[in-house]
Amino acid sequence: MQQAADASADRLSKLKTRREALLRADLSGATDYERKMNAGALATVGAHLAMLQRPSLKAGCSEASLDARARRVARKHRHQVVKSRKGFSVDNRGGFMLMDLDNRIVAGERFDLTAQAVIDYFR
């Protein structure tokens, strides 16, 4: 158990170091492609950091049950929740998108909402 915590802390440290390096990168003479690649890498690192730093779920509440609760709350308020099925990218943070029944995006246009954020949206 302690080894897993150490590995997670080590990975978190490496991601923070990588993020700082990307932020400090001198892009003054860079091409548009190099700037886009840096922005994409920074977004990916940021998404991974957010996933590692998110608070753990409450005792007795699994991630699946929290997802189902978010869907129920959204449906009650005549909205739908769409979960991303693809990997991380600049436009896909691996979370939820909230849409109304006319398929208009209400929140989380980059799949950046958590299940708890969807529930809190309707409070």
If asked whether residues 73 and 34 sit together in one domain, one would say no
Residues 68 and 96 in one domain: yes
Q: Given this model, what pLDDT does residue 97 score? A: 92
pTM: 0.50
Whole-number pLDDT of residue 79? 94
Residues 79 and 99 in one domain: yes
Buried-state track 83-112, b at ≥16 Cβ within 10 A, e below 16: ebeeebeeebbbbbbbbeeeeeeeebebbb
Cβ-in-10-Å burial (0-12, 13-18, 19+) of 19 comes to middle
Q: What is the pLDDT of residue 54?
A: 65
Domain boundary among 12, 33, 53: 53
Per-residue pLDDT of the chain (123 residues; tens, 9 = 90+): 466 567 677 888 888 888 888 888 888 888 888 888 888 888 887 777 777 666 555 555 688 888 999 999 999 999 999 988 777 777 777 789 999 999 999 998 888 888 888 988 888
Separation between Cα atoms, residue 30 and residue 70, nearest integer Å: 43
- Residue 73: per-residue pLDDT: 93
pLDDT for the residue 106: 92
- Domain shared by 41 and 76, yes or no: no
> Which position has the token pair 């409450």?
58
Closest CA relative to residue 80, chosen from 111, 102, 113: 102
Give the model's pLDDT for residue 60.
56
Range of the domain at 41: 2-53
Cα–Cα distances (Å) from 52 to 5, 12, 49, 71, 110, in that order, read 11, 7, 5, 24, 18
117 inside domain: yes
Domain-ending residue, one of 18, 34, 53? 53
Provide the domain count of the chain.
Answer: 2
**Any domain includes 58:** no
Helix (H, G, I), strand (E, B) or coil at 97: strand
41 and 86: one domain?
A: no
